[in-house]
C-alpha cells in the first residue's frame, strides 16, 4: 500500500468512500445526503491537503472471494482504499495546530489502513511545522478510532455531552482529542 | 439598546468592529489581516444568523466627552455597538448543537453589551430548537469572556494545551465551553 497526495483523477474514488462513510451516519457529523460537489469541495478545500491510500494490487480491498482476478486491461487502476485530509485547525494565532479527518473504504477495514494513514499524517503534520494535531469531533461510540488515536499518543482533552445524535444509539458524547507533536522532535 | 437581525446596511459597521477585534489578535484565531470580503463572508455565511446590538442614541458607544451632541441630520444612524452570530456547530448528527461568536466595539466595552447579546443568543438558540450551545475556542487569557460564560451556565468541557499563540503571552491554553439548553425548557 502507498500513501500519496490525491490528484484530480482520485475524485471519483474519494467520493465513493466519502458517500459510503457519511451515509452510515455514525462517525461524521455531516449530512448523510451531502452532494458529490459539496463533499469534494469540503475534502479538497483551499488550505486542505488531501491524501489517498492506494492498494498495491487492483483487487486490494475489493474482498470478493471466488471472483476471478482482475483482467490485464485494468491492472493499472489500483484501488483507493482510504483517504485523509490535513489542514490548520484554526487561522491566526491557532494555525500551529493541525486538524485531520480519515475515511477508509468499507471493504478495506481491519487491514491497518487507518493506522498507516494516521502515522503518515503525524509525520506530514510534523514535517509541515505543526506543533500539535487535534481531532474536534471523535464520536464516543467509534471505539476503534478512539483506541487507535490513544495508541498513537492522543489524549481525550474534552467531552461534549450528548453532542451527537447516533442513528441507532441516540444522543452520545463526543470527544476532543489532542496530541502535541513537539516532544518527539528531539 | 436593541438587539436585532443584521441587514445589508450593517455591513460597514460590522466590518469596523470585526477589523478592530481581529487586529488585536488576542481573542479570535483569525488572520489579523483578514480582508473585508473574507470577514463578511465568514460573519454572513450560509446557515449563519447574524445579529447586531444597536445603541438607543447616535452617540452611544462613541465616548467622546465634550463633543457636541449629534446633529439632527444623523440621529437616524444609530451606532452599532456589537454583533454576534449563531449557527449549527456541525451538520448531520451534530446539528442540534449551536455555536456562536461575539464581538463588541472597543469603545462600547464594560457596558454589558456582551452579556445582553449572550442572553439574546441563548434565547434565540432555544427558540430555534437547539439542544446545546458550544464555544469551540475560548482563549484562556480572555478572562472577562470566561467569567461571563460561566455566569451564564457554561462549563469548561475541554482544554486544548497551548493551542493559541497570544501576541503578548506566547502559547496559552484554549477552552471548549458547553451549555445544555434542555434543562430550562421545563
Quick: pLDDT tens for A42-95: 999 999 999 999 998 655 444 444 555 554 444 345 799 999 999 999 999 999
* B178 touches A: beta carbon within 8 Å: yes
- How many residue pairs from chains A and B have C-beta atoms closer than 8 A? 109
Nearest CA in chain A to B131: A163
Nearest CA in chain B to A93: B165
More confident residue, A156 or A183: A156
Contact B157, B132 (CB under 8 A): no
Burial of A127 (0-12, 13-18, 19+ CB in 10 A): exposed
pTM of the model: 0.88
Give the pLDDT confidence score for residue B73 in this predicted structure.
42
Q: Single out the residue of B45, B21, B25, B16 nearest to residue A92, CA to CA.
A: B25
Residues in chain B: 186
Give the pLDDT confidence score for residue B186 in this predicted structure.
42
Asked if A97 and B131 come within 8 Å (Cβ–Cβ), the reply is no
The C-alpha atoms of residue A119 and residue A123 are separated, in whole angstroms, by: 6
Q: Single out the residue of B131, B166, B2 nearest to residue A93, CA to CA.
A: B166
Give the pLDDT confidence score for residue B128 in this predicted structure.
97
Query: Nearest CA of chain A to the CA of B142: how many Å?
Result: 14
Residues of A in contact with B28 (CB under 8 A): 92
Give the pLDDT confidence score for residue A69 in this predicted structure.
55
* A96 touches B: beta carbon within 8 Å: yes
* A136 touches B: beta carbon within 8 Å: yes
Band of pLDDT at residue A144, cut at 50, 70 and 90: very high
* A153 touches B: beta carbon within 8 Å: no
Give the pLDDT confidence score for residue A72 in this predicted structure.
44
Q: Helix crossing, B36-43 with B11-24: angle to 10°? A: 100
Query: Nearest CA of chain B to the CA of A66: how many Å?
Result: 38
Contact A50, A44 (CB under 8 A): yes
Asked if A29 and B180 come within 8 Å (Cβ–Cβ), the reply is no
Instruction: Map residue A162 onto helix, strand or coil.
Output: strand
Give the pLDDT confidence score for residue A56 in this predicted structure.
84
Average pLDDT, chain A: 91
> Which of A41, A158, A172, A173 has the most B C-beta neighbours within 10 Å, making it the best mutation to test the interface with B?
A158
Asked if B157 and A157 come within 8 Å (Cβ–Cβ), the reply is no
Asked if A29 and B95 come within 8 Å (Cβ–Cβ), the reply is yes
* B51 touches A: beta carbon within 8 Å: no
Query: ipTM of this complex > 0.90?
Result: no
Give the pLDDT confidence score for residue B126 in this predicted structure.
97
Give the pLDDT confidence score for residue A62 in this predicted structure.
47
Nearest CA in chain B to A160: B157
Asked if A91 and B30 come within 8 Å (Cβ–Cβ), the reply is yes
- Residues of chain B falling short of pLDDT 50: 61-65, 71-76, 185-186
Asked if B93 and A167 come within 8 Å (Cβ–Cβ), the reply is yes
* B22 touches A: beta carbon within 8 Å: yes
Nearest CA in chain A to B95: A29
Asked if B96 and A165 come within 8 Å (Cβ–Cβ), the reply is yes
Q: Single out the residue of B44, B55, B185 nearest to residue B122, CA to CA.
A: B185
Asked if B31 and A92 come within 8 Å (Cβ–Cβ), the reply is yes
Give the pLDDT confidence score for residue A59 in this predicted structure.
56
Residues of A in contact with B131 (CB under 8 A): 162
Amino acid at each position: 500500500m502507498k500513501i500519496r497526495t490525491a490528484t484530480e483523477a482520485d475524485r471519483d474514488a474519494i467520493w465513493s468512500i466519502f458517500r459510503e462513510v457519511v451515509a452510515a451516519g455514525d462517525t461524521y457529523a455531516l449530512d448523510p445526503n451531502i452532494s458529490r460537489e459539496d463533499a469534494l469541495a469540503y475534502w479538497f478545500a483551499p488550505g486542505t491537503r488531501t491524501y489517498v491510500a492506494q492498494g498495491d494490487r487492483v483487487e486490494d480491498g475489493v474482498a470478493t472471494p471466488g471472483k476471478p482476478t482482475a483482467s490485464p486491461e485494468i491492472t493499472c487502476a489500483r484501488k483507493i482504499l482510504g483517504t485523509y485530509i490535513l489542514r490548520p485547525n484554526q487561522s491566526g494565532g491557532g494555525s500551529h495546530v493541525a486538524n485531520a479527518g480519515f475515511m477508509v473504504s468499507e471493504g478495506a477495514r481491519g487491514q491497518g489502513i487507518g493506522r498507516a494513514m494516521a502515522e503518515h499524517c503525524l509525520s506530514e503534520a510534523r514535517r509541515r511545522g505543526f506543533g500539535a494535531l487535534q481531532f474536534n469531533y471523535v464520536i464516543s461510540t467509534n471505539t476503534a478510532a478512539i483506541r487507535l488515536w490513544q495508541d498513537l499518543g492522543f489524549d481525550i482533552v474534552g467531552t461534549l455531552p450528548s453532542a451527537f445524535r447516533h442513528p441507532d444509539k441516540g444522543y452520545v458524547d463526543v470527544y476532543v482529542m489532542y496530541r502535541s507533536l513537539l516532544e518527539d522532535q528531539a
